[in-house]
Amino acid sequence: MSRWNEFEKYVEQMMMEEQIPGVAVTVSENGKTIYERGFGKRNLATNEPVTPETIFGVASVTKSFTALAIMKLVEEGQLQVEDSVIKHLPNFRLIDCNHMKEIKILHLLSHTTGLATTERKEELAGFDEHLKYINGKEWTFLGKPGEYFCYNNDMFLLLGAIIEKVTGENYQEYIKTFILKPLEMNRTTYDLNELQNFENVTTPYVLENEKPVACSWPELGNYAVGGGIRSNVTDLLKYGQIYVDALEDRIIKKEYTSEMAKHVHQVFGNSFYGYALKSTPNYMGVTLVEHGGGQPGVSSNFGFVPEKGIVAVVLTNLSDVNADAIWLAAVNTALNIPIDNKRSIEPHYEITDTELQPMLGIYRSDEGAKIRIVEQGALMTAIVADKTFQLRASDKQTLVMLPIEKPIRFHFDETNNAWALSIGLRMLVKSTDEK
């Protein structure tokens, strides 16, 4: 069996287990496509197949486009990542915040503003209205800027406002002019109306009663800055060449794209978040640089291996899919290493009851996420979205969800009580409400 045949069996098995209607995958090495294929259906009702040209949502893969645009403005000398946000958005004023000048563009890029996630307001029109919403609400402050990592789409979208302020251009038009048109990404768009004019577009799906059900494309509003691109793996492969020196005419110098993958904050295992890109160094002798995305009807992962000139893209048309696992399997195949090799493996630790007790309780975010950590007899469990996961410990601050091996890291106060936890890219704060 060839390596790519093994990969295809892996994808087909995951599609069956997770009820994924359609998947598209492509991989290139030094600018040459070495693998591309569509799996399954883009529309279950019409039985139309997925191809490499099928358009999907990409969700938060969009963030790297925005970050790249910011780095282009840095290259041009129009701003610096060390600039305070209020230098470019003087109306940015948070209630009860004593360190407004300390919140910098680099904190927006790296989700290290110190602000917890909040309720989404996709109905808001324009950045000015969104800024009023941000200024008028009471935020949960996790710490000072740079102290904690917590994914925050409302802070990230301010980068779009900064781009407009500095360039005098519409954010989406700037991305089109700077990135999409030069790279001839002709089947990539933010515009849902334009999306209707394309052929070979997927239908987005969500799981209901363990079966995929068609849903509408989310409108997103200002959140398009961090998640609004709809594209296909072929176009995204072109985009990836920016980062691996496979373009004859670079649209930005390498020193600025390399800056995006810098290690700003460790997120879990051996992985670090930078400017809209996550890096895992020392992975079988190379570096993984990537970003995933998720929305109703979208699970995606995009990234590259700079030392090998490898770019890989995975797009699916179902929410809450482990697209990053498919992506890593594709990269492993291209690297000629075992297909099931992991980014990192959490160690095993025998936690004491004294160490465990401060972790128990309910943790929430204003986005609506909720996790309950409970002790049931001899078992530790996490209840997430009505699903129960058995837990094991990997150190005295970290529990691991089984069988998916997803770490939950706890944050403790001076009295050794857990006040928050980090899971994936988000922090949830401990709640006194038992419901």
**Average pLDDT along the chain, 435 residues, taken 10 residues at a time:** 89 96 97 97 97 98 98 97 96 86 96 92 92 91 94 96 97 97 96 95 94 94 97 98 84 93 89 96 96 96 97 97 96 96 92 93 90 89 89 95 91 94 93 74
Query: Are both 194 and 327 inside the same structural domain?
Result: yes
Contact 411, 418 (CB under 8 A): yes
pLDDT tens, 179-202?
999 999 999 999 999 999 999 999
Contact 305, 286 (CB under 8 A): yes
Query: Are both 323 and 405 inside the same structural domain?
Result: no
CA 426 to CA 406: how far, in whole Å? 13
Query: Are both 338 and 378 inside the same structural domain?
Result: no
Residues with Cβ < 8 Å from 197, sequence gap 6 or more?
Answer: none
Query: Are both 210 and 233 inside the same structural domain?
Result: yes
CA 280 to CA 286: how far, in whole Å? 9
Q: How many CB atoms lie within 10 A of CB 43?
A: 18
pLDDT tens, 12-21?
999 999 999 9
Contact 260, 274 (CB under 8 A): yes
381: which 2 tokens? 């469990």
Domain boundary among 300, 319, 344: 344
Closest CA to 39 of 53, 55, 22: 22
The CATH number linked to 188 is: 3.40.710.10
Instruction: Quote the domain boundaries for residue 83.
Output: 1-344
Query: Are both 86 and 182 inside the same structural domain?
Result: yes
Query: Are both 188 and 45 inside the same structural domain?
Result: yes
- Number of domains observed in the structure of the chain: 2
Closest CA to 321 of 15, 51, 53: 15
What 3-state DSSP class applies to 214?
Answer: strand
Query: Are both 333 and 368 inside the same structural domain?
Result: no
Query: pTM of the predicted model, to two decimals?
Result: 0.95
Whole-number average pLDDT of the chain: 94
Strands 265-268 and 230-231: unpaired
CA 68 to CA 256: how far, in whole Å? 8
271: which 2 tokens? 């992985």
3-state helix, strand, coil in the chain (%, to 5): 30, 30, 40
Contact 257, 242 (CB under 8 A): yes
What 3-state DSSP class applies to 390?
Answer: strand
CA dihedral 194, 125, 73, 250 (to 10 degrees): -10
Query: Are both 154 and 191 inside the same structural domain?
Result: yes
Query: Are both 384 and 327 inside the same structural domain?
Result: no
Domain boundary among 320, 344, 368: 344
Residue 412, exposed/middle/buried by CB under 10 A (0-12, 13-18, 19+)? middle
Query: Are both 332 and 361 inside the same structural domain?
Result: no
Q: How many CB atoms lie within 10 A of CB 294?
A: 20
- DSSP designation for 89: -
The CATH number linked to 401 is: 2.40.128.50
Query: Are both 227 and 361 inside the same structural domain?
Result: no
Query: Are both 243 and 385 inside the same structural domain?
Result: no
Angle, helices 323-335 vs 3-18, to 10°: value is 170
Angle at 242 (CA atoms; ends 89, 74), nearest 5 degrees: 30
What pLDDT, on the 0 to 100 scale, is given for residue 376? 81
Domain boundary among 344, 365, 394: 344
